Structure 1
Amino acid sequence: MKIPIQRLRRPFLATALALSLILPSGCGFKDIDKRIFVLSIGIDHTDNEKKPYKVTLKLAVPSRSLKESDTKYTYLTKESESFSSAIRLLKTHVDKELDFGHTKVIVFGEEILHHDLADITDFFLRRRDIQTVAWLAIGTPTAESVLKAEPASEMASSHALFNLFDQTGVESSYIISTYLFDFHRKMLETGIDPVLPVLRSSKNKKKIIVNSATLLAKNKAPINLSPQETKLYNLMNNNTQKLDIIVKEEKLLYTVSIDTAKTNFKIITKPKHKPVLKLDVTMKGIIEESNQHMNPKKLDTYSKYASKKVEKQITALLTKFQENKADPLGFGVRYKATHLHTRDTYKEWKKLYSEISFDVNVKASIMSTGIIE
């Protein structure tokens, strides 16, 4: 039995039409030479009510080789009433498509902190081409001044801000790395507050300094953390890198280099008793510097001095958090997760947090006095 050719053509044409609808067209694809990559974004607040946002983009300029790259970066700046409109207008300033696939740092100016950051980060979370693992930071005095700084150590194939936050370049206990997704979660979650690192550029724009942080407690003014407080926050948050402790006992002054540290805490509530937050810290290290001869037989004594010093510093920082009704370590989240006897556990926690006392126990173990005998 022969089947007419016309009857065979119909299913073939239907299949071809269906495949043409399924397969994506090539109109949205652009070659790499038609794109320019955005490395970081800066957001500043202006005094213009009609155009309150100033957006700065740091772009990587492609080159044939590292030796030929005299101009490594270029910058685009635009003021607008929204981020979306600013970026669309900035597209008209270059002859290539702006590619945000490599954007890994978002810097906020100081003035932005006095506005709702949850609404501001909403834009970056909605865009599918911006990574949620991008780092957030505060630029002082402005985000634009930080982005336009070009350290002498910055190479054409890298970005100085990437090396600061990804822990593959510099390792420091004074540096805090905060991801976009984690910042947004802490802004919405009750019982924990986000902390952002603070970036400062030198006057000659050849150096970027990051050794402090800002605590953004909900419905409170930003709380600035000194370098020492930033280091202790990293210690309590189990994010310590190359921690140092300076101990002064009478005429003895020495510095301990901590190699490993671990922190645990527990919230103790008993009927008819004042609530207590018990925080235990264990650390190990060696003596790195001293103004006197260090006796290896007195390592236990030196360890006790270091333990008391850190206990005093941590207690003072926890008290500062409590007085400002801030909770960057997530004590409230822990309480809500472990106390399910009532529906409104967070309301109960806020009352307890104002009355809680801190029991800090630090066990520092100094393993040696260094290689000096």
Structure 2
Amino acid sequence: MKNKFLFLLVIIFLISAVGCDYKDIDRRTFIVAIGLDINKNHDFVITMKAAVPKNPKIGGSSENNQTYTVEASSIGLGLRKIKQQLSLEPDYSHMKVLILGENFLNGSNKTSLNHLMNFFITRRDFQNLIWIVLGKPSAAELLKIEPPTENYAGADLFLRFGQGVESQYSHNIKLSKFYTQLNTPGVTPLCPVFSVKNGVVNNNELAIFDRNSKLALTIDNEDLKIFNLLTKKVRSGYVFSISEDEKVVGFNVIGHKVKYSFSGSKDHLVCTIKPTFKLSLEEGVEYNYNNKKAANIIEKQLNEKIKNLFKKFKDNKVDPINLELNYWQYKPKFELTEKWLTKIYPNIEYRVVTKVNVTGKGAGR
């Protein structure tokens, strides 16, 4: 009996060994970022940035990355054609960023965003936690940027997603969340925009799409800052400045939260937005500005800015704040549906009640 068991184990091992396509690490090239553009023939232009491992004892090239480009009629075909340029097996387990070119931003591509996201989500060798971004003027140009401070392949891009710098003017999203936004009825998809100017990467824009995966609008600067305040926590804080008698006083946000409530019927729905901010004085300490008076000025400013931003969203028939999900809590029997953006959302009336609490001065040194 024991001999039969050992014989069976040997057979299983031999079968698994014969069918294994495993390649050692020294026979792989690790793809860290992929860029997708569309050419004049409406074919995909696929650009890949691969990490080049270096052995300090052997020496060799000082480059830490290699870029490959191929054109194909589909993503799947392109990933197979790219192997013609490689001597090593491409490995996507370390891929961190997926970049879509400006063609996807203006809606001139022949393949929908839904189709592309389905491809990357369902393939087993891609991680769902990679970051997604739109690149201007193209994904290829974005991948070719190599700042002198980049220590490893793709570091300059990857560190912009909260791993390095955190900015009040950027909003990042992962592939898995973007895929969910595209496939949840009534939910508005959004994606950050990275642009290249004079060899420098800027990431201070946010693209907002309609339910047909076409660009509805982009927001930046002050609008994007307000949007971030309403949708996520930012540890770096924000500064609000008020000017009176040519005196500028600045406040840093050290805490904030937002509550949404609904009243009325679906034909005339009233959404009350109640943002609360805890501020500390950062600039203009020498003016001895009255905290209560400063709080009143900031409350009025924020009420107006938030109302204008929500009006801009409603006019473009997009809901990047995801009010539909908040309304779902208000009406548990409500079902997520595309009618939210066409029947209910256009009839919403907004009321903004901002509360600001100024706690005092920043720490002096």
TM-score, normalized by length of structure 1?
Answer: 0.87
1:289 aligned onto 2:280: no
Helix, strand or coil: the match of 2:229? Answer: helix
1:36 and 1:59 in contact (8 A); partners too:
yes
Matching residue within 47, 58, 61 for 1:56: 47
User: CA 1:15–1:345 in structure 2 vs 1: closer, same or farther (change >3 Å)?
Assistant: closer
| Alpha-carbon distance, 1:128 to partner | 1.0
Question: How far apart are the structure 2 equivalents of 1:64 and 1:10?
Answer: 48
Q: CA deviation at 1:349?
A: 6.4
Report how far residue 54 of structure 1 moved.
Answer: 0.6
Structure 2 residue aligned with 1:96: 88
Distance 1:132 1:355, change over 3 A: same
Of stretches 188-197 and 150-159 in structure 1, the one that deviates more from structure 2 is 150-159
Task: Give the gaps of 5 or more residues in structure 2.
Answer: none
Q: Deviations over 1:238-270 (max 9, x none)?
A: 233422223234644322221222122122225
**Of 143, 151, 154, which aligns to 2:150?**
154
Counterpart check, 1:269 vs 2:264: yes
**Would you say the 8 A contact 2:257–2:276 is kept in 1?**
yes
Distance 1:152 1:269, change over 3 A: farther
The correspondence for 1:223, drawn from 204, 212, 217, is 217
State the match for 1:85 in structure 2: 77
1:49-77, Cα deviation, whole Å (9 max, x unpaired): 4xx11100011111124997621211001
Alpha-carbon distance in 2 for matches of 1:10, 1:351: 70
- How big is the alpha-carbon RMSD for the aligned residues of Structure 1 and Structure 2? 2.7
* Equivalent pair of 2:178/2:189 in contact (CA under 8 Å): yes
Amino acid at match of 1:216: F
C-alpha deviation, 1:17, in angstroms: 2.7
Map of 1:72 onto structure 2: 64
> Residue 121 of structure 1 is aligned with which of 117, 142, 145?
117
| Structure 1 residue 158 displacement after superposition | 6.2
The percent of aligned pairs where both chains have the same amino acid is: 26
> Residue 222 of structure 1 aligns to a residue in which SS?
strand
1:38 paired residue number: 31
Question: Is 2:98 aligned against 1:106?
Answer: yes
Other-structure match for 1:234 = 228
Q: Give 1:211's aligned residue.
A: 204
* Contact persistence 1:192–1:329 (CA under 8 A): no
5+ long unaligned stretches in structure 1: 1-6
Q: What amino acid maps onto 2:211 in structure 1?
A: K
Select 1:260's aligned residue among 255, 260, 263. 255
Q: Contact 1:136/1:178 (CA < 8 Å) preserved in 2?
A: yes
Give per-residue Cα distances to partners, 1:71-108, cap 9 Å, x unaligned: 12110011110111111111111211111001010011
Q: 1:11, CA displacement in angstroms?
A: 6.6
